[in-house]
Structure 1
Amino acid sequence: MQQTLYFIRHGEPLETGRLLGRTDMPASVSGNEQVFARLQVCDPIAQVISSPLQRCQTVARAFCESAGLPLQVDPRLSEMDFGDWDGQSYEALWQSTQSPGIGDFWQSPWQHTPPNGEQMSAFHLRLSDWWQEFTTTPSFQSTAIVTHAGVIKQLLAIWLGLPEGFDRHLSHLEIGYAKVIKVIVFFDDTGRAWPKVVF
């Protein structure tokens, strides 16, 4: 048995150049149109799951309404909470002299947590928990998940079996707005999930 998943990053936000984690900035009209178009060309989608943030949920809901599908919203698929940095411009963050700074975080996110932000270990754990739960009760239907780049990168680490605390892939992977990552999950006779990322 197998299940096909499409992880889709939200479209370009109304304002770019900002570190958006839990900041609930909507996507632009063109950004939502791009994601909607991606959803339409995936294999027939039977279910849709979305982050609760507007830049994901708005277009996911619009697609579900057009396709006659229910929408599942899961807060565990929200982007990482960057605390005091959340919503600030990258320019301001790079000019800041506080420690740790954004440069420290980008280089070693498991060792440096944004002020009042979510620890990388906690972010990784909530996505690991979500994946474990999702694959424990598979529907074997094609599923679209509208979420964030940080979420997809953490899930990639899980799918590839990277050791916890490994973070080099975070700065070496770029997942653009409205990009799609296809994953086929095979289930063996014991029910264990074997994900395969398809390029």
Structure 2
Amino acid sequence: MKSHIYITRHGESQWNVECKVQGITDTPLTSKGIEQAHELAKKIKESGIKIDEILHSPLSRAADTAKIIAEENGLPLTLEPRLVEQNFGEYEGHEWKKYPGVFHEAKKQFACDYNGGESMLRLGQRIYNLLDELKVRSEKENKTFLLVTHGGIARMIHSYFNSETNEEFSSTNTGNCEIKEYVF
């Protein structure tokens, strides 16, 4: 029997509006982001998607999104520190419009830690280990998880299930409160 896992990115945050790179910087949801979380909670309830537990990042934009979904669907909620967004080092707060393409190119340098951040290789290790554990739990406990996380983490999760070139990897995006399903 195949087991499933769902992921979603947090609702719109203040730095999403300001077009800034936000890694471990803890930026709050906007009113639109809160509304998106409520809409996703409703979508999950109405669609009948089977979710047994929600795991979420410790950053408030993801934690607040997860809490809304959990409360509106009566689901247990677990903090999972490994779902925290990547530390983008010198790119934290980087304004996309001021330096077009610079951060996109940096994401292709898998061993680079962005001068004090976390490299893609280390991020991959952290997320792949988590997914390996969740696969075992999913099969052993017959559980389906929803991971509420961030764009960089969603990109790494996507790469766990899909073969990609560096260009495809660096271009993979997940919208705010977009839900994706993967099969182990």
Residue 51 of structure 1 contacts residue 73 of structure 1 at CA under 8 Å; is this kept in 2? yes
Counterpart pick for 1:35 among 34, 37, 54: 37
The corresponding residue for 1:134 is 134
Shift of 1:104: 4.3
In the alignment, the residues of structure 2 paired with residue 19 and residue 67 of structure 1 have an alpha-carbon distance, to the nearest angstrom, of: 31
CA contact (8 A) 1:81 1:118 kept: yes
Q: 1:40 to 1:109 in 2, by over 3 A?
A: farther
Normalising by structure 2, we get a TM-score of: 0.83
Tell me which residue corresponds to 1:81: 87
**Structure 2: gaps spanning 5 or more residues:** none
Greater per-residue helix proportion: 2
Aligned equivalents of 2:3 and 2:169: distance in 1? 26
> Could you say which residue in structure 1 is the equivalent of 2:155?
153
Aligned residues: 175
Give, in angstroms, the shift of residue 84 of structure 1: 2.6
The structure whose residues are more often strand, as a share, is 1
Q: CA deviation at 1:128?
A: 0.7
- The answer as to whether partners of 1:39 and 1:144 remain within 8 angstroms in 2 is no
Taking the aligned partners of 1:155 and 1:130, their CA distance within structure 2 comes to: 10
Structure 1 residue 60: deviation in Å?
0.9
Contact 1:2 1:140 in 2 (8 A): no
Aligned AA for 1:56? A
Q: Indicate if the aligned counterparts of 2:111 and 2:121 stay in contact, CA closer than 8 A.
A: no
* Secondary structure of residue in 1 paired with 2:146: strand
Q: In structure 2, give the amino acid aligned to 1:142.
A: T
> d(CA) in 2 for partners of 1:170 and 1:21?
17
- 8 Å contact from structure 2 (residues 13, 29) kept in 1: yes
Instruction: Tell me how far 1:111 sits from its aligned partner.
Output: 4.8
User: Secondary structure at 2:78's aligned position in 1?
Assistant: strand
Q: Which has the larger radius of gyration?
A: 1
Detail structure 1 runs of 4+ shifted over 4 Å in the superposition.
none
1:1-199 alignment runs, 5 A limit: 1-15=1-15, 16=17, 17-42=19-44, 43-91=49-97, 94=99, 102=103, 104-106=105-107, 108-138=108-138, 139-161=141-163, 166-183=165-182, 185=183, 195=184
Structure-2 residue corresponding to 1:189: none
The C-alpha deviation readout for 1:125-166, integer Å capped at 9, x for no partner, is 10011011111222323322111121111111111255xxx5
